[in-house]
Amino acid sequence: MTEPLDIWFAREILVHEDALVMYLRRRWPRRDEIHDLRQEAYVRVYEAAGKARPTMPKSFLFATARHLMADRLRRGRVVSIETVGDFESMNVLIDEISPERRLGARQVLKRLAEAFDRLPDRCREVVWLRRVEELPQKEVASRLGITEKTVEKHVAKGVRMIAEHFYGGEQHAEGSRRAAEAEPEEGHGQQQTD
């Protein structure tokens, strides 16, 4: 019988709290966010362990903390338009977008959406999770119940099909779509480690 999650968590994860806090202090510049990072790491580890207990809990905890810091850094690079404020008061020249450029951008976006919509369902789902939501390959594989190798193949196939639709013409893209739908999906329904 498996021991309760709370007991496992206290024995395998919470015992590393001091080491985790020291690790975060060495690596994260904003001291006021250390507590939040630690708590978020605990939540992620607890939720993951509820599905499957990690074989190396301490390593998993520190890897989770490292990923959290990377996520926050990535999000910190995206500047919200609200934080920039009023452009006019900054006396910054703003390049006016001509109606032609706006129309061209809309046409490109429409073609990209069409190309994306033509992907086979599973391929579209994998490409969305990897390229739009930027989830790690391993997480996509786990979430969809397929192998990491299958995730790689779907991403490669999806990018190829989008490029073919975008640059290779309608007939070529339609033929690729039919061929991709006919391919058997390996590892579907079973979780494997590659």
Report residue 30: phi and psi, to 5°.
-95, 100
Tens digits of residue pLDDT in 86-113: 545 444 444 566 777 778 778 887 888 8
Residue 42 and residue 36: Cα distance in Å, rounded? Answer: 10
Share of the chain above pLDDT 70, in %: 74
Residue with the larger pLDDT of the pair 93 and 147: 147
DSSP 22-83: HHHHHH-S-GGGHHHHHHHHHHHHHHHHHHS--SSHHHHHHHHHHHHHHHHHHHHHSPPHHH
CA 165, 149, 137, 49 dihedral sign is positive
pLDDT of residue 174: 54
pLDDT of residue 59: 92
Residue 71 and residue 145: Cα distance in Å, rounded? Answer: 24
Please give the model's pTM, rounded to 2 decimal places: 0.41
Angle at 31 between CA 26 and CA 37, to 5 degrees: 80
CB-CB contact of 50 with 5 (8 Å): yes
The yes/no answer on whether domain 99-182 falls in CATH 3.40.109.10 is no
Q: What mean pLDDT value characterizes the chain?
A: 79
Tens digits of residue pLDDT in 16-74: 999 999 999 998 888 889 999 999 999 999 999 989 899 999 999 999 999 999 888 88
